[in-house]
Every structure is written in structure tokens, then in C-alpha cells.
Amino acid sequence: MRRLMGLCVFILLTAGSAQAQQKKLKVLISADMEGIGGVSTWEVQADSKGREYEKFRRLMTQEVNAAVGGAAAAGATDVLVVDSHGDAQNIDIELLDKRARLIRAWPRPLSMVQGIDSTFDAVIFVGYHAREGAAEAVLAHTDNGRVVVKLNGVEVPEAGFEGAIVGDFGVPVVFLSGEQTICQEVRELIGPIETVAVKRAIGFYSAEMLPPEDSQRLIREGVRRGIERRAEIRPYRISRPVKLEIRFNDVVIAELVSYLPSVERKSGNTHRVHRARHDGGIEVPHGRPLPEDSGRKMRMKK
């Protein structure tokens, strides 16, 4: 009996040790809609009042599901999906892969990558688009389509801004899907990550589209490759001090923003915020230092 009890204890201890050694592989998937295959205009597909919106929120969900499938194939055990288009209530939760959890709606402090922290192993961008003013880019814009954003003097798309946030937590962006222009932008900015062009932009609205089944297959395969390559992809980190510069197309909005004590008005429609002092705060030209988290969380609602 003693030997039997000893054997049972040994088995339990061994099983507990093996379980402890199996580290969770956590993946965050941030999903926008303008870069989803088949999407060409806001009026028809990407706006909730568009005549094809219901169809394309389903296709958006299917591309996200393809990313979840690719993550699972690469060993992911914990997948968080962040709906990040429009009112952030686009993904059909009934159709979403049951292996994923979902964040939706605004406001939220970390915007398109809400939920990110240093415990994640990789970040995936699905359905992203090129920056404001980019040529040969479907629905190219930044944030609400009325601003141009620079980080340390470099104009960035939303993928660059969000990539810098997750990079601040030490997590790499390993995959992006959209059209060919955002794929090129993100490779030049972040590095040689996996990208999939689900359409070829001809102009701001027009594009050559792939069949949805092909887009989903390419996303599934690309996400798997990206996660498997995560060790060789470096997080996108912004050198300190960080200088955030925003140019507003609407000068009245720019004037309102200039009333904030943390903002330097560089010109009529351009503002600048400086980060960070050696102690982690934010140094501003004519205001008081802000708390550490303010720079990370300061983000306009999309």
C-alpha cells in the first residue's frame, strides 16, 4: 500500500511539474475593416449603414477566424481579438472562433490594441490600411481621417502607432493583412514581418480583389508563419525621448486641442507632445509633466 501511495504521489508531482513547464502562448489579434478583402468604399461595405455592411462584417469575422486558426496551428493557447473599426462592434460574436475572446466598443485606454501587456508573445493586425495621404491605397487614412501622425518625425499609419504601443510592452507585431501599400509601409517601418495583400489597390476606392477563400487561406498560413518566426522579429520600439506630432486637417479642432496644457502648438494645425524624462514622465514645452501612463494611453478615438 505504501508503494502504491508513493507511486500516486510521484505521478501527481510529475504531472504538476509538466503542466507548469507548458507556458501559455498568448496572441492578440487587432482587426480593422478597410483592409478586409473585398472592401472598397465606406458607403457600401465599411459603414454600418452601407448596403453590403452585414455581408462584410461576416467576411471580416471570417478573416479574423482565419487568423485565430493560424495562431492555433502555431501553438497559441490564448487568443484575444480586439474589434477596432468604426464603433468597434463589427465582428459577429456568434460566428467568431470559439477559441478566441473578444474586446469591442469604445472608449478604451489602449485603443486598437486594448488588452496588450508583457505576457503576450505576438500581435497580429488583420484588415489594416495605409496612412493618410498614401497613393494606391484603398480608404487610406489615419485615425478619424482628419489627421496626420508623426512619431519622432516619421509619419506613421495606424499600424505604426499601435505597433509602437505593443513594442513598448516588448511584444512584436508578426503579421499584417491589408492591401499592398500598407504591407509595404509596415515592412519599411517595423521590419520583415509576415504580410498578406488580400487586394491590390488601384486608387482610393478601386482595387483588384481575391476570392474570400483565398484571402482567408493566405491569412491562416501567414499568421502561422509569423508566430513561428516570433523569436526573430524584434518589437517595434520608439527611441526616447518620444515626440508625437499631429497635424489636423480642421484648424478649429487644432485650436481646441491647443488649449490642453500638455500640448505645444507648432503651427495653426500642428501640435507636438514630447515624452519622456529620465524618470519616465512626459516633458512638455509649457505645461506640467504628465503621469507615466498618459503618453502610452493618449490616443484619439478612431
Name the residues annotated as catalytic.
141
Reference 156, options 242, 233, 234, 41; nearest CA is 242
Contact 162, 182 (CB under 8 A): no
Best CA proximity match to 212, nearest among 56, 72, 81:
56
Q: Which amino acid would we find at residue 279?
A: D
